């Protein structure tokens, strides 16, 4: 338990440092100094910066899906459950925007593990959407459909819209992202309306 708490403190300190100074300019010594421990003590938990980066990434992914599941469980129907996915996405952008801007597109492109994680997240989101659709069908809210196929169409539509709206920006500014989320929500609502049972 104590080791888990220490690991969490280190990850939180790393997120703050990475967000304010960037990954390349941050050293493990600086993170250790922020925590009031030695670099050797830090190395016991994370032997190098790459290991710490992977832990940061895993924390964010885990946190994202916990929140997605909480929203889905609290939503009274499939429609609000699907729309809440966009709300969670927006809240995560607001929380981690500075970190994403500091990480930068060149770093994301250079880490094959990040690309691999993105694919896993995309697949997990598509599975989540399919489960929400299945629950909506079972409750009579939505008409029968191939939930796997429709979930991929929904996910790909949101992704394509995001790509077109954001353009060449690797990380959009908060205003652009907010506008994009409003538009995505409108598109998602149109699609959901077409899926509703008569």
| 3-state DSSP assignment of residue 188 | helix
Q: What is the pTM of this model?
A: 0.81
Q: 61 and 16 in one domain?
A: no
The pLDDT value given to residue 97: 79
Residuewise pLDDT in 10s, the chain (198 residues): 466 889 999 999 999 998 888 888 889 999 999 999 999 999 999 999 889 988 988 888 888 889 888 988 899 999 999 999 999 988 988 888 778 776 655 455 555 566 677 778 888 899 999 999 999 999 999 999 999 999 999 999 988 877 776 665 666 778 888 888 898 999 999 999 999 997
How many structural domains is the chain composed of? 2
Mark whether 89 and 182 lie in a shared domain: yes
Residue range of the domain that includes 39: 1-47
> Rounded to whole angstroms, how far apart are CA atoms 67 and 23?
26
Same domain, residue pair 14 and 70: no
Answer yes or no: do 136 and 99 share one domain. Answer: yes
Residue 13: inside a domain, yes or no? Answer: yes
171 torsion bin: left (phi>0), alpha (psi -120 to 50), beta (else): beta
Domain co-membership, 14 together with 88: no
Please state, in angstroms and rounded to a whole number, the distance separating the CA atoms of residues 171 and 167: 10
Could you tell me if 34 and 17 are in contact, meaning their C-beta atoms sit under 8 angstroms apart? yes
Asked whether the beta carbons of 67 and 88 are under 8 A apart, the reply is yes
Q: Does a structural domain hold residue 52? A: no
Same domain, residue pair 106 and 36: no
26: three-class secondary structure by DSSP: coil
């Amino acid at each position: 338990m104590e080791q888990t708490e220490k690991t969490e403190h280190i990850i939180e300190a790393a997120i703050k440092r990475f967000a304010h100074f960037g990954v390349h300019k941050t050293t493990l010594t600086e993170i250790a100094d922020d925590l009031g421990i030695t670099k050797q003590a830090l190395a016991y938990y994370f032997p190098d910066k790459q290991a710490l980066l992977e832990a940061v990434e895993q924390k964010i992914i885990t946190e994202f899906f916990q929140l997605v599941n909480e929203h889905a469980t609290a939503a009274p129907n499939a429609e609000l459950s699907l729309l809440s996915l966009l709300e969670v996405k927006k809240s995560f952008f607001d929380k981690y925007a500075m970190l994403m801007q500091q990480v930068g597109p060149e770093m994301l492109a250079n880490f094959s593990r990040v690309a691999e994680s993105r694919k896993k997240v995309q697949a997990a989101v598509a599975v989540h959407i399919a489960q929400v659709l299945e629950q909506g069908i079972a409750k009579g809210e939505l008409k029968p459909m191939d939930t796997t196929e429709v979930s991929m169409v929904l996910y790909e539509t949101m992704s394509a819209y995001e790509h077109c709206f954001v353009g060449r920006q690797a990380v959009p500014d908060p205003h652009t992202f907010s506008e994009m989320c409003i538009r995505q929500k409108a598109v998602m609502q149109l699609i959901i309306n077409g899926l509703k049972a008569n």
